[in-house]
């Protein structure tokens, strides 16, 4: 681990600023936002342990978006006039924490060298809680933690909130948890630019395999069979990957990790049909009652179309739905798309070619403002190694 300038003054100041920020965020001005978050974390039993409460508050201070789009940290640096430029730089850098499961690669007094199993990057990490905070941490063990940049020290990171420490023997359990996080929260993986590029390559390959397996990159399935059909594809992919792997001396260690089974989201379970589209940009997405929407575009005058039109309004309104399914249907039905929207919007002069893009930008402005990321997670080298460790 490389030596750095004495971090003690920076750590002391970070502790002072964090204490002031916590007091600021727990003030009456933010009570109506923070209390519901703590209540939700406590659950129906109303039990909230100290570590959970600290982490909820930490997330609230640094990442929770207030109604005007700012964070508590933003307001803190604006209202505290006595802060130096360095103070403001430090606090504002905290708004982008790194969440992960980390392997301890090295320990040197009050600092650790951590490898994030999710993004495959190393972090030189400090704590402003004193050396005792790292006393039980050993090289080869693991940490569950949130890290924030220690801005006055380039390349240095600071533990934020409560960390959890695990022994080396917990490697299989930690690896399984990291895999679940990597697949459910790909944003945690794609902090690493190399993983972004790998993700795009992997998604292109996966999309091609999907289209070959199903005969198309777009499906309409009965909700009762959708889960089984998608899992059949994933099993096919895993078997193909395993068949292409050379066998090592220890077959158990060379077995591909068991992928989590796909579970149909609850909001799709009651749908009559589920649309499945694997797009080259938006990735793999699922849509409720997509078959009904397709029927509307095929026949804008079909009987009982009000239900279908209400469904299209939902697709236009919901932030969880990208423009993709509407664009797909418009492209697939060029002869009827104008009629569909003329009837829906009660605008006889509407044409998709002239007004379609503007409609989608107006209804879904967030889509063009969101940075594109691959829809496929990439597993790092070290995590792949740990996933092949089997308890004896």
pLDDT score for 370: 82
Q: Considering the entire predicted model, what is its pTM?
A: 0.74
Q: Is residue 159 assigned to a domain?
A: yes
**Tokens, residue 181:** 């996080």
Residues 128 and 62 in one domain: no
Residue identified by tokens 């496929």 is: 376
Q: Indicate the pairing of strand 122-126 with strand 156-166.
A: parallel
In this structure, are 86 and 123 located in the same domain? Answer: no
pLDDT at residue 391 in the model? 47
Same domain, 64 and 121: no
- On whether the CB atoms of residues 276 and 286 are closer than 8 A, the answer is yes
> How many domains is the chain built from?
3
Let me know if residue 174 belongs to a domain: yes
The per-residue pLDDT of the chain, averaged, comes to: 90
d(CA 216, CA 210) in angstroms, rounded, equals 8
Q: For residue 273, give the nearest of 281, 264, 263, 282 by alpha carbon.
A: 264
Using 50 as the pLDDT threshold, list the residues of the chain that sit under it: 1-4, 247-257, 390-392
Other Cβ atoms closer than 10 A to 307: 10
Q: Indicate whether 153 and 85 sit together in one domain.
A: no
**What CA dihedral angle connects 157, 172, 265 and 314, to 10 degrees?**
20
Task: Give the range of the structural domain holding residue 41, as residue numbers without chain letter.
Answer: 8-93
Could you give the CA distance from residue 112 to residue 137 in angstroms, rounded to a whole number?
Answer: 9
């Amino acid at each position: 681990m490389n030596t750095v300038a004495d971090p003690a003054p920076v750590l002391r100041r970070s502790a002072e600023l964090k204490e002031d920020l916590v007091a600021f965020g727990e003030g009456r001005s933010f009570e109506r936002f923070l209390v519901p978050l703590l209540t939700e974390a406590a659950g129906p039993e109303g039990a909230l342990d100290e570590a959970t409460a600290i982490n909820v508050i930490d997330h609230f201070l640094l990442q929770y978006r207030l109604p005007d789009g700012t964070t508590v940290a933003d307001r803190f640096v604006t209202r505290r006039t006595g802060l130096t430029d360095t103070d403001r730089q430090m606090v504002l850098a905290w708004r982008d924490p790194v969440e992960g499961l980390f392997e301890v690669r090295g320990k040197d007094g009050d600092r650790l060298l951590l490898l994030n199993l999710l993004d495959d990057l190393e972090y030189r990490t400090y704590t402003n809680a004193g050396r005792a905070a790292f006393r039980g941490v050993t090289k080869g063990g693991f940490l569950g933690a949130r890290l924030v940049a220690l801005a006055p020290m380039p390349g240095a990171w600071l533990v934020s909130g409560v960390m959890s420490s695990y022994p080396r023997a917990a490697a299989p359990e930690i690896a399984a948890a990291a895999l679940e996080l990597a697949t459910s929260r790909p944003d945690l993986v794609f902090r690493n630019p190399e993983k972004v590029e790998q993700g795009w390559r992997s998604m292109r390959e996966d999309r091609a395999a999907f289209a070959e397996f199903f005969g198309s990159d777009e499906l309409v399935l009965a909700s009762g069979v959708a889960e089984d059909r998608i899992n059949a594809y994933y099993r096919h992919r895993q078997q193909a990957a395993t068949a292409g792997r050379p066998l090592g001396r220890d077959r158990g260690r060379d077995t591909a990790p068991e992928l989590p089974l796909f579970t149909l989201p609850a909001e799709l379970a009651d749908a009559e049909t589920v649309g499945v589209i694997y797009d080259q940009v938006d990735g793999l997405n699922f849509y409720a009652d997509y078959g009904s929407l397709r029927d509307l575009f095929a026949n804008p005058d079909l009987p009982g179309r009000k239900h279908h039109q209400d469904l299209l309004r939902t697709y236009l309104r919901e932030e969880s739905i990208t423009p993709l399914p509407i664009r797909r249907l418009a492209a697939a039905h060029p002869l009827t798309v104008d009629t569909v929207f003329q009837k829906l919007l009660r605008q006889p002069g509407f044409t998709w070619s002239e007004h379609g893009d503007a409609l989608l930008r107006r209804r879904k402005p967030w889509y063009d403002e969101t940075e594109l990321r691959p829809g496929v997670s990439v597993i790092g080298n070290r995590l792949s190694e740990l996933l092949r460790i089997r308890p004896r």
